[in-house]
Each structure stands twice: as C-alpha cells, then as structure tokens.
Amino acid sequence: MDKLFKINPLDNVYVVRQTVEEGETMVIDGRVFTSKKTLGLGHKVAACAIPFGKQVIKFGIPIGSATEDIRFGDHVHLHNLKSDYIPTYTLDHEFIKP
Amino acid sequence: MNLSNPKTGTGFLRKDGRKGIRNIVLVAYLVECAHHVARKVTSRFEDEPVHLIGFSGCYPNGYADKMMNALCTHPNVGAVLLVSLGCESFNRNRLYEQIAASGRPVRLIGIQTAGGTGNSVQEGISFVTSALETIRKVPRVPFSVDELIVGIVSGGSDATSGITANPAAGLAFDMLNEAGSTTIFENTGEMIGLENLLGNRARHPALAEELQKAVAKAARYHAVMGHGSFAPGNAEGGLTTLEEKSMGAYCKSGTAPITGLIKPGDPTTVPGLYLMDIVPDGEPRFGFPNPNDISEMNELIASGAHCVLFTTGRGSVAGSAVSPVIKICANPETFARMEGDMDINAGKILTNEASTEEVAQEIFDKVMFVAQGGKSCSEQLGH
C-alpha cells in the first residue's frame, strides 16, 4: 500500500496515510522519494516543485501559497505554506511582545 | 426491504401530507423542572419507539419555540406528549395547538395541575400506551428516494476526517442529489476561505451573494468572539491553513449545485442541496451557534432531515431522538476501538481496503437501508 496518496488528481501535494519514518525511501508515481523526517498521518508532501508564491492544491482547491521554493518530496507545512486568508495561530504565537 | 431497488420504500403518511421513515412517540419536556417526569415516562417504554427531547431553559426564546415546533411536527413523529411544570416561560398552549393542527395525537400534562410527579407519570404512561396503539394505524405509503431529506454534520474530527469520511460522504451526497433527494449541510464557520467556491455552486446569482454573506457573517462572528476554527492541534494533525481545514469539512457537501440557504428549522422547498446558515443575524453575542454536535443535528432534523450522516475521526457516540443517525468513521484505529457505534468504516480508504467511491456507495446503500426501516448503530444502542 502506498503510504502517500492524492485526495484529488489536481493536487500538487500527497497526504500521508501511514506514518513515514525518517530516511524511509519509496517510489511514488514512478519517482523515488526519501523522507528527511518522520511524517505522521495527515501531513503533506510536495508531489512536484511548487515555486515561491504559487498555490498549494489539496482537495482540488488552493489551500494557501508557498512561502519558499518547495521541491518534490518536501514536507509542506507551516514553514513553507501560508494561508491566503487568515494567519494560522500556533502555540508559538507571542501575544505580548517582549 | 429491497436493497436491489433503492428507489422504493415505505413511508408513514402524516395528516399534514409529509412522510416519515420512522413512526415514533415523542415525549417533550418544556423546562428542566419537568425533565424527570418526562424521563420516567419514557423509561417505561424501553423497547418501544418512544423518545425524549426537551428545552431546559425558563426564559422567552424564539429559537426554542421554532425548534420545538419543528421537531414535534417532524414527519418521523407520530404522536407527542408535552410535559410542562406549569409556571415556565415556554408557551405550551401554542405548541400544543400547533401539534394538534398537524393532525397528530397530542397530550399536554401540567405537573402542578396533575398533582405532582406520581400522577403525571401515570397520566403520561397511559397516554403514550394509547398513542403507540393509535400510530400503528398510520397509513403506510410508497416513499421514494426523491422524497428523502438527508443532513450531514461532522464532529470529533481529526486529520483523517477530511481525507476519508468527508470526501466519501461528499460523493454519497452527490449520489443522493442525483437520485433526487434533498440534502442539507451546515456550519458556515467552517467555510471561511471558501466563499468563492460556494458562490460558484449557487443555482442563481442572488443566492451566490447570500451564500457569501452568510460566510462573511460567520467570519465576523468568529473574529468578534475571538475564537476561530483553527486550533494548534489541527497543525499537529498535519493541517496548515484555515482554508485547508475548511475544505476538509466542506468536501462532505459534495459538488452538486446549491439550491438554497435556510436557517435552522426552516423547511426545504424543492429537492436539492441546501446550506444551513447557523449564525444568528444581528450583532454577534456571546454563545456559540449550535454549541455541540447534538444541537447541530437537531437543527438539521428541525429542517426536516429524515436521517443524518455524521462523520467522525476521534469517535462520536452521537444519536438522535427524532431521526436516525448514520455514523461514518474516518479513522481506522478509532473504528477498531468503537466498531459497535460506527455504521461505516471510511478508514478503509487509508488502509487501501476500499476506494473513496466504494465507501461512498456503502454510505448511499446504508442511507437506503435506514430509510427502509433498517436500524443504524445508534438506534440499536438505544440513543
């Protein structure tokens, strides 16, 4: 079973459906993918190069824009993808600036 | 039951012309003080289709009026026992008259007038006993798939909800629409970022504008209340942006054109797909619109849903008194733990045991099964 899959054929990211360990190698759509880190269920992996500023497509719709050049196989998450609407709140958010 | 021909079934014809897929007696308390008596009556009918609902507040409330009226005259309901304390704010006489006008057997018990708990419970039991007898004679008529109304909610979501259960439920919703059923989805707060997608699905331009306004109202509500829909735990589960989370929830509505925008308790008019606008109009005030999964379902049922699809990742045990709930479990690990509560294992998509299309077909078939009288898991468990 492929541990990565696309929800919609239009997507430029795969979704992890079973934990991928760091260093694990697999062939996906004929390309070799080696994971640089452990990726849990639900995380996203670039299915192709996504240049800075281009939209990331999941479910067949844009879910935000790349904040850096993303390469095939990169983990796509808070460090390289931002909302086109509302900034994402995480526990690192500082309400009071020191 | 004829699963090979899902287009036909049997419905219960009400005197107001609507058709139900269940034939139940509803016991409804009109203030928390009457809850005990209502529960005592209901508990005497463990193995009979007798269900308990109620409104616990003691303040004038237009929303409660509308919801109670809609639920008590729902097509799945055959007869109603109203249990009042006697001094509460709820307008019991108006509700009684509305139910009577719908042609259903109805009895109003005022606990203070009846002489307290013992007498009220006795009177309630004797009414329910005779009502069960009466509704057995409700005419059974052909019920076709284009008369069916199905709602959908999600609750206890996790990272799997948006990749298994919701997309499969969306396909099932498309199949139901194709078959001519009416379908309702809700939670405009989970559509922030999807205004244009929603607008593009409207059947006419005026509706597109209404849909976008409803989402803008939800966005404003969340901004004023300071609680958005995206929690840090969502990011741990692999979600990065609000529109991504929204889409995970929204995809359960499928791809059919949107026929109308309704408010909780409003009836649908023609078959098609409807969005329910759950955020009250006017200035945002404290209090979550539909504060929990059960009230989300009740709003869909109040708008006529004969049954409700419920997608969950973490594992909900929701059930409803008026309409059957079909639970679709997104996460294979949750399914393994809570199989008895789950009608559909959409987690099979993650373990490569089924495609999204196959799970959608299973959901569609389960809806037909339940519409033809088959019991869903929560019904078997007495929820």
**DSSP-derived secondary structure for B61-101:** -HHHHHHHHHHHT-TTEEEEEEEE-SSSSS-HHHHHHHHHH
- CB–CB contacts below 8 A, A to B: 91
Whether A58 has its CB under 8 Å from any CB of chain B: the answer is: yes
B241–A82 CB contact, under 8 Å? yes
What per-residue confidence (pLDDT) applies to A93?
66
Which residue of A2, A16, A58 is in closest CB contact with B244? A58
Mean pLDDT of chain B, nearest integer:
91
What per-residue confidence (pLDDT) applies to B226?
63
Query: % helix / strand / coil in chain A, to the nearest 5?
Result: 0, 35, 65
B197–A61 CB contact, under 8 Å? yes
> Is residue B274 within 8 Å of residue B187, measured between CB atoms?
no
Give Cα B279 distance to the centre of its chain: 17
B193–A85 CB contact, under 8 Å? yes
B163–A17 CB contact, under 8 Å? yes
With a CB cutoff of 8 Å and minimum separation 6, the contacts of B23 are B12, B49, B76, B78, B135, B136, B138
Residue of A nearest to B193 (CA): A85
Complex prediction ipTM:
0.90
CA of A26 vs chain B CAs: smallest distance (Å): 17
Assign A78 to helix, strand or coil.
coil
Which residue of B194, B240, B247 is in closest CB contact with A78? B240
Whether A43 has its CB under 8 Å from any CB of chain B: the answer is: yes
Region B24-137: CATH code: 3.40.1400.10
On chain A, the residues whose CB falls within 8 A of the CB of B228 are: 86, 89
Residue of A nearest to B223 (CA): A86
Chain A interface disruption, residue of B240, B252, B253, most A CBs within 10 A: B240
The pLDDT tens digits along chain A (98 residues) read 789 989 889 999 999 988 999 999 999 989 999 999 999 888 999 999 999 999 999 988 899 999 999 999 999 999 999 988 766 767 776 667 66
CA distance B205 to B210: 9
Pick from B252, B238, B236, B185: nearest CA to B215: B185
B243–A7 CB contact, under 8 Å? no
Residue B29 to residues B107, B160, B299, Cα–Cα distance (Å): 12, 38, 18
On chain B, the residues whose CB falls within 8 A of the CB of A6 are: none
E strand or H helix at B333: helix B332-337
On chain A, the residues whose CB falls within 8 A of the CB of B158 are: 42
A41–B235 CB contact, under 8 Å? no
> Is residue B275 within 8 Å of residue B185, measured between CB atoms?
yes
What per-residue confidence (pLDDT) applies to B193?
79
Which residue of A17, A63, A81 is in closest CB contact with B350? A17
Q: State the alpha helices, DSSP H only, in B180-329.
A: 195-200, 205-225, 232-236, 242-250, 293-302
The full set of domains in chain A, from first to last, is 4-82 (2.30.130.110)
CA distance A41 to A43: 6
Whether A95 has its CB under 8 Å from any CB of chain B: the answer is: no
pLDDT tens per residue across span B98-141: 999 999 999 999 999 999 999 999 999 999 999 999 999 999 99
- List, for chain B, all residue ranges whose pLDDT scores fall below the cut of 50: 1-5
On chain A, the residues whose CB falls within 8 A of the CB of B197 are: 61
B241–A16 CB contact, under 8 Å? no
Residue of A nearest to B195 (CA): A85
Rg (CA), chain A: 14
A41–B230 CB contact, under 8 Å? no
